[in-house]
């Protein structure tokens, strides 16, 4: 099978051939239909996060079950599934717990982004933050995760949703997905503007890009008692914290690994949201590309002027 290999950090992925074993007792072989390009992959490709090499990166995928092991009980051959594991390849061999069967009416190129970006962003709103109607939310960084966070905040009934991104194109997309206000986080008065717009700061500030300055902005944008949630993968030597004044004001800081998701519960629910017209994945997916263009897709990601690129396998 064809796959994209990471052989050397900082170098382009190499297209080559790989071979899969037959499924073990609880393993599933999946024919990959689509896989999103996630900023997490870029961290490993560039060597920011160390990883044993060579490897096949990619993790935000959807496909069709081709074979199952003798003890698999959660999926069957022919099921359409969403997964979150080594996916820049025409096929995947994964544990049955790493995939969830979904409604076959769901387009798989859109289902792929549910595997990471949407699960993380929407999960943060519904699970980690438990946003309730009328609460105020600021989202810093409007890539795939940030846009999904904004869309989910709208679904949750947030009263004001402020999107912060330096790219005008991303801010326009954020408005389409539910942001009530947008601004450039690089401006000197970004925190003051958020506090002014919300008459004291937001209930929830969500950092979705992985920059220390964005995390600091998230904390500054909070009202007393508000919570900052850090989703972005920052350099491993960075520290994010609260000052004594922040603590006296009851501000809170938390992480939310993949949005605190419950994979078997949340994935079908998000698919249902899309099929009912609530979750706008059509706007989050900027383009579909073949595997051979994976490196060009990551170059576009570095420029930061588009949302999600999704590899589609023929």
Report the pLDDT value the prediction gives residue 52, as an integer from 0 to 100: 94
pTM strictly above 0.75: yes
Report the pLDDT value the prediction gives residue 235, as an integer from 0 to 100: 87
Q: What is the pLDDT of residues 116-132, one digit of tens each?
A: 999 999 999 999 999 99
Report the pLDDT value the prediction gives residue 202, as an integer from 0 to 100: 98
Task: Map out the domains of the chain with their CATH numbers.
Answer: 2-115+260-312 (3.90.180.10), 130-255 (3.40.50.720)
Distances (CA, A) of 14 to 17, 58, 235, 238, 286: 10, 13, 25, 31, 24
Report the pLDDT value the prediction gives residue 285, as an integer from 0 to 100: 95
Residue 86: band (very low, low, confident or very high) from pLDDT cuts 50, 70, 90: confident
Report the pLDDT value the prediction gives residue 66, as an integer from 0 to 100: 98
Report the pLDDT value the prediction gives residue 314, as an integer from 0 to 100: 81
Flag whether pLDDT at 137 surpasses 90. yes
230 CB burial (10 A radius; 0-12, 13-18, 19+): buried
Flag whether pLDDT at 306 surpasses 80. no
Residue 227: band (very low, low, confident or very high) from pLDDT cuts 50, 70, 90: very high
CB 208 within 8 A of CB 143: yes
Flag whether pLDDT at 305 surpasses 80. no
Report the pLDDT value the prediction gives residue 307, as an integer from 0 to 100: 82
Residue 89: band (very low, low, confident or very high) from pLDDT cuts 50, 70, 90: very high
pLDDT mean across residues, the chain: 96
Q: How many CB atoms lie within 10 A of CB 294?
A: 22
Preceding amide of 54 cis, omega within 30: yes
Question: Averaged over 273-284, what is the pLDDT?
Answer: 97
Report the pLDDT value the prediction gives residue 85, as an integer from 0 to 100: 85
């Amino acid at each position: 099978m064809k796959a994209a290999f990471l052989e050397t950090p900082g170098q382009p992925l190499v297209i080559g051939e790989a071979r899969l074993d037959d499924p073990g007792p609880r393993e599933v072989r999946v024919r990959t239909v689509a896989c999103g390009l996630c900023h997490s992959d870029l961290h490993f490709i560039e060597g920011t996060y160390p990883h044993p090499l060579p490897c096949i990166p990619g993790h935000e995928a959807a496909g069709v079950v081709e074979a199952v092991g003798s003890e698999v009980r959660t999926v069957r051959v022919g099921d359409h599934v969403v997964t979150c594991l080594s996916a820049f390849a025409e096929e995947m061999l994964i544990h049955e717990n790493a995939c969830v069967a979904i409604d076959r009416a769901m387009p798989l190129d859109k289902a792929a982004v549910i595997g990471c970006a949407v699960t993380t962003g929407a999960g943060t709103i519904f699970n980690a933050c438990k946003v309730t109607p009328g609460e105020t939310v600021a989202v810093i960084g409007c890539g795939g995760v940030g846009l999904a966070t904004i869309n989910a905040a709208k679904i949750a009934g947030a009263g004001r949703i402020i999107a912060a991104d330096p790219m005008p194109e991303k801010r326009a997309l954020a408005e389409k997905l539910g942001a009530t206000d947008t601004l450039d986080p690089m401006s000197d008065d970004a925190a003051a503007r958020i506090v002014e717009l919300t008459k004291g700061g937001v209930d929830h500030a969500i950092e979705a890009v992985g920059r220390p300055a964005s995390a600091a902005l998230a904390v500054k944008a909070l009202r007393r008692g508000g919570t900052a949630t850090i989703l972005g993968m920052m350099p491993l030597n960075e520290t994010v914290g609260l000052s004594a004044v922040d603590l006296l004001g009851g501000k809170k800081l938390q992480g939310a690994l993949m949005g605190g998701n419950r994979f078997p519960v949340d994935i079908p629910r998000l698919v249902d949201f899309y099929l009912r017209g609530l979750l706008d994945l059509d706007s989050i997916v900027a383009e579909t590309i073949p595997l051979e263009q994976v490196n060009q897709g990551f170059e576009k990601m570095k420029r930061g002027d588009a949302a999600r690129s999704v590899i589609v396998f023929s």
